[in-house]
Structure 1
Amino acid sequence: GDCTGPRSARVVLGEPTIDVAVLETARGGLLREGLAFDACDIGCVTNVTADHLGLRGVHTVEDLAAVKSVVVEAVHENGWSILNADDPRVAAMREEARGHICYFSTKAPKQWPDFLKDHVLHGGRALGCDLASGPFDMILYDQAQKMLICRADEIPATMNGMAAFNVENALAASAMAVCNDVPLPVIREALRSFGTSYEQSAGRLNMVEREGVRIIVDYAHNPGGLRALGGLVRKLRTGNSSCIGVVGIGGDRRDQDIFEMGEIAASLFDRLILKEDYDLRGRSAGEVPAILRQGALKAGFDASKIEVVLREHEAVERALGSALNDDLIVVTADDIARVWARVSAPPANELDPIPYKGAIPLQSEIRVF
């Protein structure tokens, strides 16, 4: 669920049978109530992007970085702060982060910034995976040693290494596990068993194929998320097939963020079906899709290939009804459960939809909720 606030964390921390708690700590809860704990063993910041700006006094990305740095400032002196070395704002948190520092990076070692080169040279801990040139080996650098964790393309969630954002997530997760003294063979097997099925990670790169149409359901709810997803979408496109985007964004985003979302969508899709969330979050009906449309048109998108279908489930139906064989549909879903139930439901003349096998098997069955 959406359990990123301190109240949910307190429920978990109050259960005496739990040995390790992995708590996503969002900026909303931090601003409302702070952390749910005085100190943590491990703190990790994956990235800082221009999202949720203009809310609760946070108006710039620098403001947001200051809020997120609270997580690593709360690490106890013998713990570990894990930072994305590729994000300058996250890397800068090393000045305030407590405990020991562990970095992760998807750049080649020769392209590492000086602080990361020095860190590893002096025996510091870091995890790296060269995505630009390969091979996709995930390497642990620790005390002047290099150890193979696994290959990124062996992790189903990375889609043969094509989903760069999930390589970053795998590095961050592995770093947290390493810093919690989990043995490498255990980490390796766990990574190899994790895919993007609805059951394992609802709303995060869930894919299915039905009646010759490939469908991605993903909670890409901001420009950064859609831009990252777009890197994978471009790699999945085949031949002369069309890519249909069913796109929306939360109404509590700034006009400029919604406009940018439209611009990014214009660069990714051949057709656009613009929708709005069920909770308008202070916007009037149709306002968000109108701004999305403006952004797409500003980017040069053909107006005749834009449709506005306000209700999400109707927008999904429109995409399914108009897609041709081998087309790719991407839904930036709001009601994940409802959208997935629809796109994964077996057609009337079939028993089951077919899990997408274009890049890598999903290693799971499809369930209808």
Structure 2
Amino acid sequence: MIVLRDILYKVTLEKVVGNTAVAIRDLHFDSRQVGLDDVFIAIAGTQSDGHSYIKKAVDQGAIAVICEQMPEQLVNGVTYVQVNNSKQAMAVMAANFYGNPSEKLKLIGITGTNGKTTISTLLFNLFTAAGYACGLLSTVKILVGTTEYKATHTTPDSITINKYLAEMVSAGIAFCFMEVSSHGIHQKRTEGLLFAGGIFTNLSHDHLDYHKDFKEYRDVKKSFFDQLPKNAFALINADDKNGSVMLQNTSAKKYTYALKSYADYKAQILENQFSGLLLKINNNELWVRLIGNFNAYNLLAIYATAELLGLEQLETLQLLSTLESVDGRFQFKISEKEKITAIVDYAHTPDALKNVLETINTIRTGNETLITVVGCGGDRDVAKRPKMAKIAAQLSTKVVFTSDNPRSEDPVSIIEQMEGGVPPEHFKKTLSITDRKQAIKTACQMAEANDIILIAGKGHETYQEINGERTDFDDFKIVNQLLTALNK
């Protein structure tokens, strides 16, 4: 039996009306899911305010309500708990409700603009190959050992996080690797979790539709490291100027990795090809199957984390050489007949797109045409649209602007905003096709033998969202089918 009083442990209480010794069944912040003897947590969200649904939750059987403002009418037999921050309270309560599962395994959080999914997924793959039972909480999927669940957010809500962590503990999981987004930190979804380590990848323009400016975006990321305990590790990319900021107030043990700067963990790129990278990591040479400077950083972070978590250096190097790219992250296909290389990548920020295009340009001979297909998502950061278009135009031979996930916005309007960033000298190399499949088809038709097509922005996603409806759409499957058809 779980008692309300016990799960309120470490929650800062403003006011309590009613009995906290009552037995509770479950926690919910969605009033539609509330049943008999459940706790309803009223969250003030961006779309709606949970305080408006307190009466509905009580009518459906809620035995307790957690809120920031007490309702005018209180129902006898229902306990009302007023808190300063419902999101923070929910996170601490969820951890208590599920028995604080993060304390019973080693939870590693990965944060930054780019690289979170690759690092978390490849750490999962590496430690699994090393013989450990592992868990993964990522943008792409949630894994409890070999059991897979669908992911809906980069960082799930705090109840969901603790539910899966509890399942991992029951399954004997030793390590869990978790993407930690700025939204998740800001919305207190990671409160009440005990992290054994934190990794900072980089920081560039993203989510400025949510955060008021870049400083707030950076400081939210920093707050994750501020909260790490002293026996945890904080591993940061020293080549990113924001890396040192992450370490300013952390109590954790500090470590750095870099390709250019002095650092605890150093790497050097000796060869960079479509078939992989030849790296020197802390004076050890190895060949890896991943491509590009950005993956050299990702692999170095993985190597450092593996060592910090106790893996032997030789075993780590051997396992690094077997890792393969994550779905939708520089995932490529070479057509049989014309040897056209099609690359699908999740690059949806200016920095990520620049990294991918610079990597391709480093590897290619210059005789091939590089055709980039790119769009920007609707209802998201509008400031990055002209920036991404400018980067695509400057670093590609030809560019096709198209739809990404327009959501509730007019896709034509999004593309027009992108076009506004194209320098006049690059106008002639661009065209716009609103229909994404048609845009990919056009790129395939434009490509000649040995040319390269980059399809950026959606990566691993298997849908396209238009006016609230999601339809099946997989960039990699589509370009594969089109190139196969053209080769016949």
Which of 228, 232, 237 is the aligned partner of 2:364?
A: 237
> CA deviation digits over 1:200-256, x for unaligned, max 9?
x11100011113211110011010101111221112333432110101122244433
What is the deviation of 1:168?
0.6
The match for 2:344 is 217
What is the deviation of 1:276?
1.4
Which of 345, 363, 376 is the aligned partner of 1:249?
A: 376
Greater per-residue strand proportion: 2
Aligned residues: 313
The match for 2:289 is 156
The match for 1:271 is 398
Name the larger-Rg structure: 2
State how far apart, in whole Å, the 1-side matches of 2:259 and 2:424 are. Answer: 30
> Is 1:138–2:281 an aligned residue pair?
yes
Distance 1:77 1:6, change over 3 A: farther
The match for 2:475 is 339
What is the deviation of 1:131?
4.5
SS in 2 for 1:102: strand
> CA deviation digits over 1:12-55, x for unaligned, max 9?
31212221100011112222343164321011111111111131
SS in 1 for 2:431: strand
Which of 94, 103, 109 is the aligned partner of 2:247?
A: 94
Which of 170, 182, 195 is the aligned partner of 2:311?
A: 182
Is 130-139 or 69-78 further displaced after alignment?
A: 130-139
Whether the 8 Å contact between 1:6 and 1:35 is mirrored in structure 2 is no
Q: How does 1:72-151 map to 2 (within 5 A)?
A: 72-107=225-260, 111-112=261-262, 126-131=264-269, 136-139=279-282, 148=283, 150-151=284-285
State how far apart, in whole Å, the 2-side matches of 1:294 and 1:229 are. Answer: 22
Distance 1:335 1:192, change over 3 A: closer
Structure 1 unmatched runs, 5+:
117-125, 140-147, 352-369
State how far apart, in whole Å, the 2-side matches of 1:255 and 1:307 are. Answer: 20
Q: State the one-letter code of the partner of 1:207.
A: F
The match for 2:161 is 9
The match for 1:173 is 302
> Is 1:288–2:438 an aligned residue pair?
no
> CA deviation digits over 1:78-129, x for unaligned, max 9?
111111111121212211122211110111xxx53xxx5xxxxxxxxx2111
What is the deviation of 1:319?
1.0
Structure 2 unmatched runs, 5+:
1-139, 141-150, 273-277, 463-473
**Identity of matched residues, %:** 22
What is the deviation of 1:155?
1.4
State how far apart, in whole Å, the 2-side matches of 1:233 and 1:239 are. Answer: 10
State how far apart, in whole Å, the 2-side matches of 1:330 and 1:133 are. Answer: 21
Whether the 8 Å contact between 2:376 and 2:403 is mirrored in structure 1 is yes
The match for 1:65 is 218
Distance 1:348 1:65, change over 3 A: closer
> Is 1:21–2:176 an aligned residue pair?
yes
State how far apart, in whole Å, the 1-side matches of 2:354 and 2:456 are. Answer: 12
The match for 2:185 is 30
SS in 2 for 1:295: coil
C-alpha RMSD of the superposition: 2.5
TM-score by length of 2: 0.60
The match for 1:41 is 196
> Is 1:322–2:451 an aligned residue pair?
no
State how far apart, in whole Å, the 2-side matches of 1:22 and 1:71 are. Answer: 15
